[in-house]
Amino acid sequence: MKNSSKKIIALCLCAALAVSGVAATAFAQNADGNEAENQAKPETVSASAADNAGISKDETVYVLAGADGSVQKIIVSDWIKNSLGNAAVSDKSELTDVEDVKGDETYTMNSDNMRVWDAQGNDIYYQGNIEKELPVDLSVSYKLDGKPISADDLVGKSGRVTIRFDYQNKQYETVEIGGKQEKIYVPFAMLTGALLSDDVFTNVEVTNGKLINDGSRTAVIGIAFPGLQENLAISRDKFDIPGFVEITADVSSFRLDMTVTLATNALFSELDADGFDSISELSASMEELTSAMDQLLDGSSQLYEGTAALLEKSDELVEGIDQLAAGAENLKNGAGSLDAGAAELQSGATQLSEGLNTLASNNNTLNGGARQVFDTLLSTANTQLAAAGLDVPTLTTGNYAEVLNGVIASLDENAVYAQALNQVTAAVEAQRDMITQQVTAAVQSQVTAQVTAAVKEEVTAQVTQVVRNTVAEQVIQSVLHMDKASYDAAASAGQIDQGTQEKIETAIEQQMQSEQILQQMQAGAEGQMETQPIQDTIAAKTGEQMQSDAIKQTIAEQTELQIQKIISEQMASDEVQAQLADAAEGAKSVIALKSSLDSYNAFYLGLQSYTAGVADAAAGAGTLKAGTDDLKAGTSELAAGASQLYDGILTLKNGTPALVDGITRLRDGAMQLSDGLKEFNEKGIQKLVDAVEGDLDELLNRLRATKDVSLRYKNFAGASEDMGGQVKFIYRTDAVE
């Protein structure tokens, strides 16, 4: 019975110690400034509670604390796992300021004050705030040369410093064990990590923890189980289960970065209680633990071998960075040349636009002068007709042809001119459909060009956004090892510092201005423009505009203008003039007058067409100038970005010796880890086995009760009764500086 009880305790505590790797990972990520990534993708453990609704909640509680452990703010991140793909999910929570951090799902409050999420088959990710007592209180105390001191007063001091992390477990249930009512605490494992700079901390020691030094700083990883000693009723004289973590070191000008503590009850929730029923099954569990320890030892050896291989390949890495630096220099030079060419193009477009604007500014003067000449000719004609004794209406640009035609008809018995006019008009009217088609084709060509430009602008914007999303995904993955959706959620929650966001945005913009990305976007836009759907869209929009009243009116006006112009030109032609020359002698002067007015009318109509074309050309030149201005701005940004990229890669190149040195230290650290695990395997487990004595039945009952209490504690901020789940707590203390 004695040896069996020792195996039970060894199994529990060694399983807890094995999970300390999770705490080290979480701490290391936060120390590098990636706390937001841990919030967006928290480390999870398997839920063991029954879930008859197929829905469970994975809850992570982030506790922002002062340097002494006092709580400043609590942020809760919940992940509702909708494994059955339900359309709606009912959720109970005490959180305030609830925000969906990953999707666009919304919720409503029902009559039971429950949130009903419109899940649409998706998982739900949300976070919020809460003011509630934590299940475990964390307190951090400091001593300088054996005397208590506050964190603020300790800043800049030197001497022998002690930093102690105490954990008070407040979460318990009263259960019956051996006929007695006993307090059984929720068995939290508290995993605390801190990074100590070698410039400040030396001769570092830790109680209930492990030290790892990489040559420039010491990583301290401590573990404690508040309340477990009481749960198992083991005397501290026989075996002292860690309940605190204490760091002692010599310091020079004290400062301390933030610390991170992970609290989880998943260790005991995962214990196989069925294995407690027989000694043979307990022995089998111990053999599984030994096998797992062997695998861990093998893994540490593989880590050492892998870092050694990485060191061997570092020369190839250095060579690749040198090639990257050379390519960046070429890109920098090419971007400079492109910027210079864009400046020349911008200057030429500006001159063209200014010249056409000057020409177009004279349009009104030119048209007005031509109209004034026309009015003078008509006034002279009115005078001549009056002198000839002809009583006719005053000639205008609109009626002169009709009035003079009447005069000629009245003077020419054979109505030669009227016949000629009727013939010319009939001939031209016979071509009205063809003229209409030509005018329609010209207008449709202009409309198609305008529609194509508008569609291309939309397609280019869409392609640019797709490429930007891809680039952003790659940059975020490269910098933070997380996907864009998680990054956006973390950034929206304020979990990523401004410096990191600016660094990512700068990297995205640099890649977006690279020649490869620009060519990719141009090729993508041009490729999209050639696709049948886009061509169909252009055709449809062109057809839609061609059916508009404004376009139809334009076609009708232009057609009528062309018909009148052709009639005037043909009436002024040699053939018609020859026919008119044979008219009655009395009509010759009027015919000559009409002919001269027709000739000038043809010039006048042509001048109007010319000035309209000049105005259109000036407008197009203005658009071209705006485009070259944008191009110049883009090439300037590209040149600046290429220069920054070159400087950054040059910095990377200069830093490769330090990288190789770091890999060397990592290899040496891997060897130390392997040696430490061997020592733990040889001494740690046996020490645990030898330390435990007592009644196995009572110990088994307490272990079962501990696991049952752990299983029932599934959330902090609240959950529906039929919802399974799990919860973990991450405490972050402020830096002392």
Min mean pLDDT across 63-77, 315-329, 678-692 is at: 678-692
- Listing DSSP states for 497-522 in one string gives -HHHHHHHHHHHHHHHTSHHHHHHHH
How many angstroms separate the CA atoms of 85 and 448, rounded?
48
The phi and psi torsions of 384 (rounded to 5 degrees) equal -65, -40
- pTM summary value: 0.44
Domain ranges of the chain: 2-267+683-733, 415-582
Residue 657 has a pLDDT of 72
Instruction: Determine the pLDDT at residue 46.
Output: 33
Instruction: Give percent of the chain with pLDDT exceeding 90.
Output: 32
Q: Residue 223 carries which side chain, given as an amino acid letter?
A: I
**H-only helix segments in 412-514:** 416-430, 432-480, 484-492, 498-512
Radius of gyration of the chain (CA): 44
Region 374-380 average pLDDT? 89
Token readout for 584 is 């009655």
727 closest CA partner among 735, 717, 736, 737: 717
Q: What is the pLDDT of residues 83-109, one digit of tens each?
A: 888 999 889 999 999 999 988 999 998
In this prediction, residue 349 carries a pLDDT of 79
Q: Is 481 helix (H, G, I), strand (E, B) or coil?
A: coil
Query: pLDDT band at residue 28, thresholds of 50, 70 and 90?
Result: very low
Band of the pLDDT at 302, cuts 50, 70, 90? low
Lowest-confidence pick of 417-431, 442-456, 514-528, 583-597:
583-597
Q: 441 pLDDT exceeds 70? A: yes
- Taking alpha carbons only, the member of 376, 378, 420 closest to residue 397 is 378
- What's the mean pLDDT when you consider all of the chain? 81
Residue 328 is predicted with a pLDDT of 75
First-to-last alpha carbon distance for the chain, in angstroms, is 53
pLDDT digits (tens, 9 = 90+) for 208-263: 999 999 889 999 999 999 999 999 988 888 888 999 999 999 999 999 999 999 99
Q: Which residues pair with 116 in a beta bridge?
A: 90, 108
Taking the C-alpha atoms of residue 563 and residue 82, their distance in angstroms, rounded to an integer, is 73
SS3 25: helix
**Among 235-244, 366-375, 409-418, whose mean pLDDT is lowest?**
409-418
- Higher-pLDDT residue of 287 and 246 is 246
Average pLDDT over residues 110-119: 86
Instruction: Measure Cα distances from 354 to 113, 344, 363, 494, 624 in Å.
Output: 69, 15, 15, 50, 12
- Amino acid 14 reads C
> Is residue 189's pLDDT more than 60?
yes
Report d(CA 271, CA 267) in Å as an integer: 7
Place of tokens 């423009």: 529
Q: Which pLDDT score, from 0 to 100, does residue 140 have? A: 97
**Percentage of the chain with pLDDT > 70?**
78
Q: How many other CB atoms are there within 10 angstroms of residue 112's CB atom? A: 9
CA distance 361 to 355: 10
Q: Is 396 helix (H, G, I), strand (E, B) or coil?
A: coil
Give the pLDDT band (50/70/90) at residue 288: low
Exposed/middle/buried for residue 383 (C-beta within 10 Å: 0-12, 13-18, 19+): exposed
What residues are paired with 76 via a beta bridge?
A: 61, 128
Q: Is the model more confident about 545 or about 735?
A: 735
Q: How confident is the model at residue 264 (pLDDT cuts 50, 70, 90)?
A: very high
pLDDT in tens, 31-69: 343 333 333 333 333 333 333 357 899 999 999 999 999
Q: Give the model's confidence band at 720: pLDDT under 50 very low, under 70 low, under 90 confident, else very high.
A: confident
| Position 642 confidence tier, pLDDT thresholds 50, 70, 90 | confident
Is the pLDDT at 414 greater than 80? The verdict is no
| Residue with more model confidence, 338 or 492 | 492
Split at pLDDT 50, 70, 90, the class of 25 is very low
Q: Is residue 322 very low, low, confident or very high in pLDDT (cuts 50, 70, 90)?
A: confident
Give tens-digit pLDDT for 514-557.
998 999 888 988 898 889 999 899 989 898 888 989 898 999 99
Q: CA-to-CA distance for 142 and 526, rounded, in angstroms?
A: 66
| Residue of 318 and 729 predicted with greater confidence | 729
Q: Looking at residue 21, what is its pLDDT?
A: 37
Beta-bridged to residue 173, according to DSSP, are 184
Identify the residue with better confidence: 97 or 683: 97
Backbone angles phi, psi at 495, to 5 degrees: -95, 0
Confidence of residue 299 (pLDDT cuts 50, 70, 90): low
**Tell me, what's the pLDDT at 78?**
94
Smallest CA-to-CA distance from 12 within 729, 715, 691 is with 691
